[in-house]
Amino acid sequence: MAGTPADAGDDGSALVVNFKGNPADKSKTGGWFSAGLILVTELAERVCVIGISVNLVTYIVGDLHLSTSAAANIVTNFLGTLYLLALLGGFLADARLGRYLTVVIFAIVATIGVSLLTVATMLPSMRPPPCSGFRQNHQDCEEASTGQLVLLYVALYTTALGAGGIKANVSGFGTDQFDCDDPEEEKAMVFFFNRFYFCISLGSLFAATVLVYLQDDVSRDVGYGVSAGAMAGAVVLLLAGTPLYRYRLPRGSPLAVLWKVFYSAWRKRRLPYPADAGELHEYHTSKVSNTQRYRCLDKAALVACTAPSGGTTASKGKPRASTENLCSVTEVEETKMVLKLIPIWSTCILFWTVYSQMTTFSVEQATYMDRHIGSFVFPAGSLSFFLFATILLFTSLNERLFVPLGRRLTGNPQGLTSLQRVGVGLVFSILAMAAAAVVERQRRESAIRRHHNISALWLVPQFFLVGAGEAFAYVGQLEFFIREAPERMKSMSTALFLATLSMGFFVSSLLVSLVGKATGERWIRNNLNMARLDYFYWMLAVLGLINIVIFLAFARRHQYKVQQPELSCNGERELKDCKRDAEGKMDIV
């Protein structure tokens, strides 16, 4: 595929081309078949990442003999880094490489990473001598040395780099296969995000059942080898579909636009606002309506006057207009769009802090519980099956039940708005932590007082509630960040959304460390029977209540992006009136 940032369309949107760089033929490119090939890549990425994360804590504690808190932090730091690196992938795609090439490159990197992990778990020299009873008496066991952990860390963070680049771009590349100006394709787009998440949840479900079983009952390296094979196969399919895709060419670094607007507004901060907004640079040709929020940034679009001597006043001679540090109204408004995402972004972080407990402490809890179903003992990591099964259930019900019901109740064609979905997800996360705290208290008391291990199936409610919450929160956040961000920053906006996941995992690591220091390691210990993990869960539930109050305040103030109302207006006067009318019709959730 050819093309450079200069190939963008004159209307401000990215030019849609085929793999040869020519305008795309809709009859031969795009649509659900192309989108399906792209989704296979994300499905394989989920198989790799979930196959690693849901069961890694048991390997680190049981085979490498590290402490429970250290194992939890290794897992959450791995996942946090993965989603943080999505920012790099989004930047590269929007600035230079484009979404297709970025996905291909990072998918190959992910394949290399999980292959290295296969080697790291296969070599006996990469782990300490076997030791039984580590969870009860860890002082008698040799911990993995720094040298033994090196290959593990290299493998994990290579995988994180590859997976992060994929996740930042695969959903945006999938939506590129649909033309929102075509009524039929726009109709298909309505369900893209839901089907996208249904598809990747299917991969997660496979990882949490088949791969976890292979890792625990067959061999770790066999389980990770299957993941590596899945990722390699996805790369082959992605490349095979090259002639069938539609491509939006990159338009240059979006970060450069943001910096330019901030810098210009700061330099012109002492200049007065214009009496008429029409005096702003390219106001009448802007493809985005001028808004009043963050009005201080409008000064970036002011045409400053300079004296012949180079000053900012006309003290000598006749002043002249200066184009230095001059931004267009479109650039200013796109920057405002990004700023409007930040309040919602900040209040979504705690959901993923709660989610991270399902891959760390909840799995470790299961190792202390009765995991028998008849004569079969299921792996602790397999409890994530209930998490992903719930996600599949709720995403399936979304199209058939929740969207039609929401349309009747709200009159909104989407059913629930993206922010309403996020709010529902936050409520489920609070309920999940309350349920987790109650179950952990009962588990601990039964183990200590009655010397009886209750069934691990008592953990199902917390996995169910987090899964239900994720089905709403993930789809809602993804849709919100992609639809509300500027077109040229679609990959970066996806990466910004994924950064909430990153921050959620890092916040979990931070809380574990802080709680350990503040309580003298009384809440979180290697032996959970001697710990008070239920107090930690209650703390997360209380933080969730505070967070949702703040979220609701931000959500009520948010103004959804107007979808280019000026395109239906003719002439400068009509354009100006149309913009003003549109500003008065913005929906507030």
3-state helix, strand, coil in the chain (%, to 5): 70, 5, 25
pLDDT at site 135: 53
Contact 484, 560 (CB under 8 A): yes
Q: Which of 251, 275, 297 is the last residue of a domain?
A: 251
Domain that holds residue 411: 253-305+325-557
Whether residue 266 sits in one domain with residue 187: no
Q: What are the start-end ranges of the H helices in 135-191?
A: 146-175, 183-190
Whether residue 512 sits in one domain with residue 381: yes
CA-CA distance, 75 to 508, in Å (whole number)? 10
CATH of the domain at 358: 1.20.1250.20
Whether residue 182 sits in one domain with residue 66: yes
Name beta bridge partners: 455.
370
CA-CA distance, 217 to 222, in Å (whole number)? 10
CA-CA distance, 330 to 311, in Å (whole number)? 28
Contact 91, 236 (CB under 8 A): no
Kindly state the tokens that stand for 495.
């990466």
Residue 173 lies in a domain: yes
3-class DSSP state of 454 = coil
Whether residue 243 sits in one domain with residue 273: no
pLDDT at site 565: 39
Residue 570 lies in a domain: no
Residue 58 lies in a domain: yes
3-class DSSP state of 455 = strand
CA-CA distance, 413 to 408, in Å (whole number)? 9
CA-CA distance, 166 to 42, in Å (whole number)? 7
Whether residue 338 sits in one domain with residue 404: yes
Whether residue 419 sits in one domain with residue 342: yes
Residue type, 62: G
pLDDT at site 579: 37
CA-CA distance, 134 to 63, in Å (whole number)? 9
Residue 115 lies in a domain: yes
DSSP state of 143: P
Whether residue 257 sits in one domain with residue 153: no
CA-CA distance, 337 to 347, in Å (whole number)? 17
Compute mean pLDDT per 10 residues along the chain, 589 residues long, and list them: 40 67 82 87 90 84 82 88 87 86 94 92 84 58 84 93 89 84 74 76 85 86 90 93 88 80 89 80 77 84 63 47 74 86 92 90 88 84 85 78 72 75 94 95 90 90 93 86 77 78 90 88 82 92 96 87 44 37 31
CB neighbour list of residue 269: distance below 8 Å, 6 or more residues apart: 296, 299
pLDDT at site 567: 35
Domains held by the chain: number:
2
Residue 316 lies in a domain: no
CA-CA distance, 13 to 549, in Å (whole number)? 37
Whether residue 241 sits in one domain with residue 258: no
Give the CA distances from residue 45 to residues 54, 392, 511, in Å, rounded to whole numbers and listed in that order: 14, 17, 28
Residue 520 lies in a domain: yes
Whether residue 166 sits in one domain with residue 281: no
Residue 1 lies in a domain: no
Q: Which of 217, 251, 285 is the last residue of a domain?
A: 251
Residue 523 lies in a domain: yes
Whether residue 247 sits in one domain with residue 277: no
pLDDT at site 137: 52
pLDDT at site 588: 25
Contact 40, 234 (CB under 8 A): yes
Whether residue 278 sits in one domain with residue 174: no
CB neighbour list of residue 473: distance below 8 Å, 6 or more residues apart: 348, 351, 421, 422, 424, 425, 426, 428, 429
Whether residue 462 sits in one domain with residue 398: yes
